[in-house]
Chain A
Amino acid sequence: MTDDYEHYEAVVVGAGPGGAAAAAVLARNDVETLVLERGVDAGSKNVSGGLIYAEESAPYTVDGLFPDFREQASERPVTDYYLHNVAGDKVKTFDITDLHEHDTAWSDTVLRRKMDSWMAKRVHEMTAETGGGLLTDVRVNGLLRDNGEIVGVTCDELDPITADVVIAADGVNSELARDAGLMDWEEPEEWFQGVKAVIDVPEDVIAERFDVDDDEGVAHLFSGDLFEDVRGGGFLYTNEDSLSIGTVFHLDSLVAEQAEPHELLDSLLTHPLLADWLEGHYDEVEYSAKLVPDSKKVANPSPHRGRLLTVGDAAGQMQAQGPIIKGMNHAVSAGALAGEAFAEAQLRDNTERAGALYERKLKDEGVMGKLRPTGYRVASALGERGPVTSLADSVLTSGVGRLGVKLTGGLLERLYSSPRLSMMVPDTQTPYVTLPTVIAEELGERVDGEADFEPKDLASRIGDLTYDTDVGNPHIELQDTSMEASGAAVYACPVSAEDFGGGCYRAEEVKTNGSEEKRVSLDTQPCVECGTCAVVADTDWEHPRGGKGVEFEQG
């Protein structure tokens, strides 16, 4: 049956950093490689906070695979890193540059449209040499099986394709990982959700306000009571002539607090701390959102099945190491190791071994150890149980605890900068909200300042995005319209809000047989394809067809 299909030695699905790295290594090893990207351009579907790391201990780095990456595809090196503990208008700032620089060869801010499309050009040139190449506007929609074995991929736009290896680098909402049973969309605890605004600011204004030269940049993190009780934090990164400002929250916490992600972003944008930086220059050019896997919980230790190898977000390889978030670097390492594993297996004439080889390399090269640190497992076993957390919280907020914070102010800054400790931080309210709030209350200084602008409302944020809507062919179907099953999407979806009719999800009063009840309704047109609703609501979730849906210009 599969004999008539086109065949490539390797098919790589997705042209983000994981897919690009895999393809680069495969091509280098003369493996005939086809790369399929569903966006109109690589990067047009991709969003990240905007910091990419090159770790000293990593087996691969992006500039190792793509020379000139830093000169041509990234924005600015991050030379200073600060964490702001916030309680109301009191702020205590820690300099955590040491933690940021631990094991760091370099770290740059990036905008994904520019970065990924730059890499994709190189990937196409390299893979074309092998008889393959990179195609955009093609959505891989599932795995091709023969007698139950994975033998290739099926696509919306192309006839099925067989391959000796399929490397799924199709992102956080990987349809292939789910098709293979390597990922699911069940537990909100396993995910973060990030939203971001890119603000255009002239280069000279950035230089002056952030005290940076052309070849310098700065990262600021924010935590505390800025976001009420929602667990998470905010960030601000300097690009060449723009700022990436965003917030990242635990999805379960967003759901529990019924928080509106865009409002949390607004409370960061308008905080007094940011007033001087943004004064007269609030020119928001793009609003975006993304679901982020928590590798501590979902990084698959065995991310392969048959001929399918998953890399990057598709394999849950996103490390939240205390305040430091590392995703793209691990995707690069994993993608390259997957490519390397297949090339070696092919050389030994045993391509079936590629998956097992890849798994071993992830472990041996230390990638898996960073994604699922053992220290965290011990700490979380103790720290995430309710009573321990509430005890820790009440001690911290008591007089005794506050005294401790005062006495150990300098020590705390050092503790925050400890790479080992930061990997062990449990995901409770304590490190995100309580501790930073207490730190700021006890040690912080008042900041005065007032935002001289109103953040854009959700309607204009959606209105300013580019969409090519697949009319009559919605990519998400709501399976259960009851409030219990799907109501959380009304606020958790970053392009929906209560009492807002222009978003994806709405709660509507429906009259049936004389009684009234609330039902959830869905319009996929404004969808930014983050995948939040796939986790918090009862949906049948797919990506739009190739080239359709949202198109990010910044990413």
Chain B
Amino acid sequence: MRSVVLTKGVPDFREGQVSFDEDGHLERGATPTVMNPNDEFALQAALQTKVKHGGDVSVMSMGPPGYENVLEEAMSVYADDLYLLSDREMAAADTWSTSITLSAGIEKIDEEPDLVIAGFKTADGETGQTGPQTAWCLDRPIVTHVISMEIDEEEETLRAKRLVEGDVDEIETVEAPLPAFVVTDPEFSPSYRRAEHRLRHKRLKAETTERVENYEDHLTTWSAEGLDLDPDFIGLDGSPTIVSGVDPIPKAPSEREATMVDPDDAEAMNDVLETMQPLAGGD
């Protein structure tokens, strides 16, 4: 059972890591790049599949050479091997040309994966488009918002529970033929009810922790040429999306006028009451 997990490097939006300039624009240079947090769940789903059915987990990302660190982070969760699709021609891609590039990468892997798994939308773009578009390029059935899944090897099917949000949240159980494409929900949680599975999980985690020390040895980098991609269909040239401008969301003023009042000062407290009185009506 082979799985390919797609991941993306995103700015580390955590407090203390992220930097914005005076206009509220993200300072890319001053903000570290990390693995998209939602991709952790995709990796957990792939690891669960490996624990229960064997096979390999490959992790793939498209990005500049600096994205190696993102793949290293993915390997610390779990990966047998890593693929980085990296080329100047791929730069400034929108979700469509990214999907074209990723699907070419997946098709180049020797063995056709039974599962391609992506996390639910990235922390920077937040489009949620790349997964479904890649599934379309690969002509695979797609199951999104997956919170748990099991594979039936004999039947070659995937049975998954999906979290369907609406007026009332519902959990839907669906079945799809393999090979398939899965998008995990941030609510995804792996299930290991057998001791043998937990023991294998423990062993695989120890192995990947050891492997990550020399992750470069497990990394394959492919260029546009290596993927046999026409430069017109990838990167900026292949992107139909035009971003006309980015407006920062106005922030609430962080400084307000404040006057200190001594609660024991009757006169000052009277002033406070007089100021507040007109507002008491709720107008």
Q: Which residues of A contact B (CB under 8 A)?
A: 6, 8, 34, 36, 124, 128, 132-133, 135, 138, 157-159, 161
Asked if B194 is at the interface (CB within 8 A of a chain A CB), the reply is: yes
Least CB separation from A157: chain B residue = B193
Asked if B195 is at the interface (CB within 8 A of a chain A CB), the reply is: yes
Shortest Cβ distance from residue A162 to the other chain B in the assembled complex, whole angstroms: 11
| 25 sample A-B contacts, Cβ–Cβ < 8 Å, listed by A number | A6-B194, A6-B195, A6-B196, A8-B195, A34-B195, A34-B199, A36-B195, A124-B202, A128-B199, A128-B203, A132-B199, A133-B199, A133-B203, A135-B195, A135-B198, A135-B199, A138-B198, A157-B193, A158-B193, A158-B194, A158-B195, A158-B198, A159-B193, A159-B194, A161-B195
Least CB separation from B200: chain A residue = A133
Least CB separation from A135: chain B residue = B198
A-B contact sample (11 more), CB < 8 A, given A6-B194, A6-B195, A133-B202: A34-B195, A36-B195, A133-B199, A135-B195, A135-B199, A138-B195, A158-B194, A158-B195, A158-B198, A159-B193, A159-B194
Q: Which residues of B contact A (CB under 8 A)?
A: 193-196, 198-199, 202-203
Q: Using Cβ atoms and an 8 Å threshold, which residues of chain B touch A161?
A: 195
Least CB separation from B194: chain A residue = A6
Most buried by B among A36, A124, A133, A161: A133
Kindly count the residue-residue contacts between A and B in the assembled complex, taking CB atoms under 8 Å apart: 28
Shortest Cβ distance from residue A156 to the other chain B in the assembled complex, whole angstroms: 11
Question: Interface on chain B toward A: helix, strand, loop, or mixed SS?
Answer: helix
Q: Using Cβ atoms and an 8 Å threshold, which residues of chain A touch B193?
A: 157-159
Shortest Cβ distance from residue B73 to the other chain A in the assembled complex, whole angstroms: 23
Q: Using Cβ atoms and an 8 Å threshold, which residues of chain A touch B196?
A: 6
Shortest Cβ distance from residue A155 to the other chain B in the assembled complex, whole angstroms: 9
Least CB separation from B193: chain A residue = A159
Shortest Cβ distance from residue A122 to the other chain B in the assembled complex, whole angstroms: 15
Give the complex CA separation of A132 and B195 in angstroms: 9
Give the complex CA separation of A376 and B219 in angstroms: 70
Q: Using Cβ atoms and an 8 Å threshold, which residues of chain A touch B195?
A: 6, 8, 34, 36, 135, 138, 158, 161
Most buried by A among B194, B195, B198, B203: B195
Q: Which 8 A-B pairs have the closest CB atoms?
A: A133-B199, A159-B193, A135-B198, A34-B195, A6-B194, A158-B193, A158-B195, A6-B195
Shortest Cβ distance from residue A130 to the other chain B in the assembled complex, whole angstroms: 11
Give the complex CA separation of A161 and B202 in angstroms: 19
Shortest Cβ distance from residue B57 to the other chain A in the assembled complex, whole angstroms: 21
Q: Using Cβ atoms and an 8 Å threshold, which residues of chain A touch B202?
A: 124, 133, 135
Give the complex CA separation of A36 and B199 in angstroms: 11
Shortest Cβ distance from residue A167 to the other chain B in the assembled complex, whole angstroms: 15
Q: Using Cβ atoms and an 8 Å threshold, which residues of chain A touch B203?
A: 128, 133
Give the complex CA separation of A138 and B202 in angstroms: 13
Shortest Cβ distance from residue A466 to the other chain B in the assembled complex, whole angstroms: 22
Give the complex CA separation of A112 and B192 in angstroms: 29
Give the complex CA separation of A207 and B41 in angstroms: 51
Give the complex CA separation of A34 and B196 in angstroms: 9
Q: Using Cβ atoms and an 8 Å threshold, which residues of chain B touch A128?
A: 199, 203
Least CB separation from A137: chain B residue = B198
Q: Using Cβ atoms and an 8 Å threshold, which residues of chain B touch A135?
A: 195, 198-199, 202
Q: Using Cβ atoms and an 8 Å threshold, which residues of chain B touch A8?
A: 195
Q: Using Cβ atoms and an 8 Å threshold, which residues of chain B touch A6?
A: 194-196
Shortest Cβ distance from residue A103 to the other chain B in the assembled complex, whole angstroms: 40
Shortest Cβ distance from residue A316 to the other chain B in the assembled complex, whole angstroms: 28
Shortest Cβ distance from residue B193 to the other chain A in the assembled complex, whole angstroms: 5
Q: Using Cβ atoms and an 8 Å threshold, which residues of chain B touch A158?
A: 193-195, 198
Give the complex CA separation of A138 and B194 in angstroms: 11
Give the complex CA separation of A158 and B198 in angstroms: 9
Shortest Cβ distance from residue A5 to the other chain B in the assembled complex, whole angstroms: 9
Shortest Cβ distance from residue B48 to the other chain A in the assembled complex, whole angstroms: 15
Give the complex CA separation of A553 and B282 in angstroms: 53
Q: Using Cβ atoms and an 8 Å threshold, which residues of chain A touch B194?
A: 6, 158-159
Give the complex CA separation of A151 and B176 in angstroms: 39
Shortest Cβ distance from residue A194 to the other chain B in the assembled complex, whole angstroms: 33
Give the complex CA separation of A474 and B202 in angstroms: 29
Give the complex CA separation of A135 and B194 in angstroms: 11
Shortest Cβ distance from residue B131 to the other chain A in the assembled complex, whole angstroms: 31
